[in-house]
Structure formats: C-alpha cells, structure tokens
Amino acid sequence: MEVVDSVEYLHWLSLFFDFCVANRPFILPSTSTESWRARSEWVTDDGRPNEERLIKDFGSLAAPVMIEGDCEPAITRFADYIEYVRGEREGKLRYLKDWHFQESAGCAHYTPPACIAPDWVNREEWTSTVVSPFDGSDYRFVYYGVKGTWTPFHSDVLSSHSWSANICGRKLWYFVPRGEEGRFVENGNLIVDLRERRELFEKAGGFTLYQEAGEIVFVPSNWHHQVHNLEDTISINHNSINASNIRLVTDFLLARREDVRREIEDVRGIFTDEEWNEQERLLLKADARLDVQGLMRLCRLVIDSRMGRGRDCYVCWKHADVEECRMGTCRPLPCKCTSSKCVECERVLEEYELTVAALTVHRIEKQDRLRE
C-alpha cells in the first residue's frame, strides 16, 4: 500500500494512471478531504460524530442497519440509530452500512479528489436517471459503524474500484493482493474472517493499514479486503466504474455470462433462441446487478457524451493498446495543474475515456459474434 502524502503537489492524472489504471491500492492524506462540508459539519471539535447536527439534518431519513449475525439489514430511521449509538449498546452490535445517503440528501457534503473523481456510475448526467443501466440507482454510500463492527473478507461488486473516506474515526484494513484470494476458499466459499488464518495471510503477501480521520483508501478492482472500525466511525464510500477498470469489469461480466449459460444449459430445449437469450440476460443481471447489454449501454453513453463535447481519440505513441499507457511516461502531462482539473487535462482524460469505451464496445461485439 502506497501513501500519497503530498497529493496536493502531484498531478492528478499521474495518480489516475499510476494507481487507478495500474490497479494499485493507495491512501490519500487528510488534506484531501479537509475542505469537505462533511468534515466540518458531521464532526465535533474532539473528533467524534456530531450527533446533534446529524439528527437535525438527517434524522428522518431511512437507513439500513445490519444487526450482528443477521443476513439482511433492518430499515430504521437514522435518528433511531443515533439513539442506539448513544445508548448502552447491549447485545448484538449494529452497523449502519450501504446507506444510499446521496439519493436522499445529495452530494453537496463532499467532492472527491480529481484522481478518483472519474466515475461513470455515480458522477455523470445519467446517474440516478432512467437512462442509467443501473435502473436509476447508484453506488454511493455512507457507513456509520460503532467501535467493534466490521465487514467480512470480500471483494467489491462488479470488479469495481472503490474508495472510502473516513469523516471521523479510525479503521483497520486487511488486504490480500489480487490473485491470492484463492488461498482463502473453503468448500467453494471465501472464509469470513482473515484473522482466523493469520499464517496463510502472511504467505499470501497480505498486509494491514490503519486509516485515520480524513484519509481516503483506494481499493482497486478484485483486491479482497476486510475492514474493522476501531472507534465510532463515519465514512463516505463509492464503488466506481471508469476507463481505468472497464476492462476488468468486462472480463468479469463476460465470464459470469458463460457461467450462467452453463448453469441453465440443461433446460435449453424449452426456450426459443430469443427466450433463451432473455433468460440468460435476466439471470446475469440478477446475479451481478448488471448485464452485458447494460455495460454496452453505459459505454455508449460515455461515447456519446464525450463526442458531444468534441473529443477526439486518445493516442499513445508507445503503446498500440492505450490501456497500457502511463501518462507522464508515455505521453507528457498536458499542464502543471495538480489536485484540481484544468480544461486541458480534463480534455485528455475525456479523450482517453472515449477511446477505452469504444474499445470495450468493439470487444463485446466481437465476443458476441464468436458466440453465434
């Protein structure tokens, strides 16, 4: 895990290519969130959750709360969860997680740093609209966990990247490098708690990190991890798909589509070709929350958007495959701006997005022709 201590002095495009495109984890310092409203309004002077302000602003909103040992969350008023936080906390711990806070309260409380801001799911004009292939939903969440709550060993949905910003509190993260997660499969399932396999964790090259208030942890696609709240902790989280990980997302969906086809092959004869394809699509979407057609639609939304702004294709003179390009090494950085975007570096990113989205559409269409 690399810590980017001087993010304000580094070009955000370099960070995007060197970490997001390269699929490497990193952590941004607390300076990257110090201007967020959430950091000033949701936290008291002593660094604890500002319960009075949170109840006043969001108390009436409904939120999912996972009770220790349960498989499904209970939906409760946010104010009621705060009352639990204030109380004796007897019995099973409760963890408010995967709360689609932004759908109800908006996103004015924070602005992601430029290097992790590209996000075709959550930060586009189609986000939360019927045009979105995600049925108008998003992958932006707030977590509020009391001390001792934790998230079991897992990787994030759809081979997405994710980032988690601590508004207050501290977390302990366990990371297993991509490709080593198979060591932790028993009876066809991932183990729940890495702490029960400490020796194996070390052999896999696993590592831990402590996340302090204000810091942002970037979790690359397909990196398995486990997270513990060491104090009462509030975090803002995104799962993102963009030009840096769309190839891995495509790999995942195409492979899962073949799995679905094999799983239902024995009933192939009762369907027409059209019905069969529709069943395959529906089952894939139910399993993965996105189907291949939806991924194609997402890429075409990106293409239309970037072309509508007059963008051209991205060219790397060193690599025929632009997804192997590293800005600052293969191509010079377009300007000297650092943590914020300028018109020129935004143009370069959008050219890259346009090209990668078009390549993804071409790849899927080629795969579909081979299946026919």
Q: Tens digit of pLDDT per residue, the chain (372 long)?
A: 665 655 555 788 888 998 999 999 999 999 999 999 999 999 999 999 999 999 999 999 999 999 998 989 999 999 999 999 999 988 899 999 999 999 989 889 999 999 999 999 999 999 989 899 998 889 999 999 999 999 999 999 999 999 999 999 999 999 999 999 999 999 999 999 999 999 999 999 999 999 999 999 999 999 999 999 999 999 999 999 999 999 999 999 999 999 998 888 888 778 787 887 888 899 999 988 899 999 999 999 999 999 999 999 998 888 888 888 888 788 888 887 765 678 888 999 999 999 999 999 999 999 888 776
DSSP 137: -
Residue 319, helix vs strand vs coil: coil
Whether the CB-CB separation of 155 and 194 falls below 8 Å is answered with no
Q: How buried is 269 (Cβ within 10 angstroms: 0-12 exposed, 13-18 middle, 19+ buried)? A: exposed
CB contact burial 17-43 (16+ within 10 A = b; e otherwise): bbbbbebebbbbbeebbeebebbeebb
pTM of the predicted model as reported, rounded to 2 decimal places = 0.94
Token pair 């963890």 is found at 95
Token pair 């390009």 is found at 325
Bridge-based pairing of strands 189-190 and 94-99 is unpaired
Whether the CB-CB separation of 105 and 59 falls below 8 Å is answered with no
In the chain, which residues fall in CATH 2.60.120.650? 2-10+25-238
- Residue 196 CA to residue 193 CA, distance in Å, equals 6
pLDDT of residue 8: 56
pLDDT of residue 64: 98
- Residue 24 CA to residue 38 CA, distance in Å, equals 27
* Token pair recorded at residue 84: 């639990």
Backbone angles phi, psi at 227, to 5 degrees: -135, 135
Nearby residues of 1 by Cβ (< 8 Å), 6 or more positions away: 25, 26, 27, 175, 207, 209
- Residue 350 CA to residue 9 CA, distance in Å, equals 22
Backbone angles phi, psi at 201, to 5 degrees: -60, -45
Residue 20, helix vs strand vs coil: helix
Q: How many CB atoms lie within 10 A of CB 333?
A: 17
Beta bridge partners of 229: 171
pLDDT of residue 338: 64
Residue 320, helix vs strand vs coil: coil
pLDDT of residue 6: 52
Q: Can you give the length of the chain in residues?
A: 372
In CATH terms, the superfamily for domain 2-10+25-238 is: Cupin (2.60.120.650)
pLDDT of residue 3: 58
- Residue 25 CA to residue 227 CA, distance in Å, equals 15
Backbone angles phi, psi at 171, to 5 degrees: -130, 150
pLDDT of residue 28: 94
- Residue 57 CA to residue 79 CA, distance in Å, equals 10
pLDDT of residue 274: 84
Of 357, 343, 334, 362, whose CA–CA distance to 13 is shortest? 334
